[in-house]
Amino acid sequence: MADRVLGFIGLGQMGSRMAARLLEAGHPVVVFDRAPGPLAELVAKGATAAASPREVADRADLVFGSLPTPAILRDVALGPDGVLAGQRARCFVDLSTTGPRVAGEVAAAFTEAGRSTFDCPVSGGKGGAAAGTLALMVSGPRAEYDSLEPVLRVFGKPFYCGEKPGQAQVMKLCNNLLAATALAASSEALAMGVKAGLDPNLMCEVINASSGRNSATQDKFPRAVIPRTFDFGFTTGLSLKDVRLCLEEAEAMGVPMPVGNATRQMLAITAALHGLDSDFTSIAKTVENWAGVEIKAP
């Protein structure tokens, strides 16, 4: 199905880079974002602009979404001007982190209309989105997965998680809970070390050669905290949304998460102090504030 027209809705940090990769791979791509700036950037790269999610689905066979919240995803997929109202698209793939509930709702509505959906949250940040090295967690109908997989490979490495809608979302929430918790706990450890006179770069080097290594000490501290750029590319608001979705789901399932609750509070405090739009590495600033120290090279 090399001639399939692809649609892409939500051209933010992740979506703009993923849609650009589809164009580079030679696919015709129809795009929509409610913000005109990102839309114009993709058109300059060769995409065709649509005026609504519905119009994207009128013109494309397969539609991707990369959107910020479950409510927005629901509206884009099922709203009056949404993908399901379009005439042409047979399949919708949600690349956002929106949790298993809305994935179930969207899948039920599409299935009833004789169409299909996959939830396909991704991990790897804007760097991975640009380089095509994302991890993609996929759940949806097995029979249709084989025709989807070659397109997903443009974005990175797909992992098929199961047929049940939302299974990939649960996988993603587990990952993001760990990523945020590692960032919060590493902020505490590095603030303590720096206050004791240790060089944070040396600390990361030692930790990364030892049993405390994690995604924050390997990537976020060296890249965005110690150089004081706080520009990892993932907002506090999105991380808070992910951890909240994870805890709500865990509670509904009867899985206690006291450590996860502490991470949620750290993110909520960081959002209050630095704003929902701050980079989520700002969690380190929250700890620095309390500790009276800055995690920077001497």
- Residues at the contact surface with ligand NAD, assessed by CB under 6 A: 9-15, 32-35, 38, 66-68, 72, 75-76, 96-97, 122-123, 125-126, 233-234, 238, 242
Pick from 228, 224, 221, 230: nearest CA to 201: 221
Residue reference for tokens 């506090």: 236
Q: Is the dihedral of CA 243, 244, 250, 255 positive or negative?
A: positive
Strand ranges, E, within 55-115 = 62-65, 91-94
- Helical ranges in 36-87 per DSSP H: 36-44, 53-59, 70-78
Instruction: Name the residue nearer to ligand NAD (CB basis): 194 or 224.
Output: 224
Q: Write down the least CB distance from residue 104 to ligand NAD, Å.
A: 17
Q: Which CB atom, from 9 or from 151, has the smaller least distance to ligand NAD?
A: 9
**Tokens coding 286:** 């929250």
- Smaller CB separation from ligand NAD, 68 or 104: 68
* Nearest distance from C-beta of residue 9 to ligand NAD, angstroms: 5
- Residue of 172, 220, 241, 285 marked catalytic: 172
Q: Which two tokens stand for residue 95?
A: 């690349």
Catalytic residue list contains 172 = yes
Min. distance of Cβ 277 from ligand NAD in angstroms?
9
Cβ closest to ligand NAD, residue 33 vs residue 288: 33
CA distances 286 to 112, 189, 193, 283, 294, Å, are 47, 13, 16, 5, 10
- DSSP-derived secondary structure letter, 104: H
- Smallest distance, Å, CB 79 to ligand NAD? 8
User: Known catalytic residues?
Assistant: 172
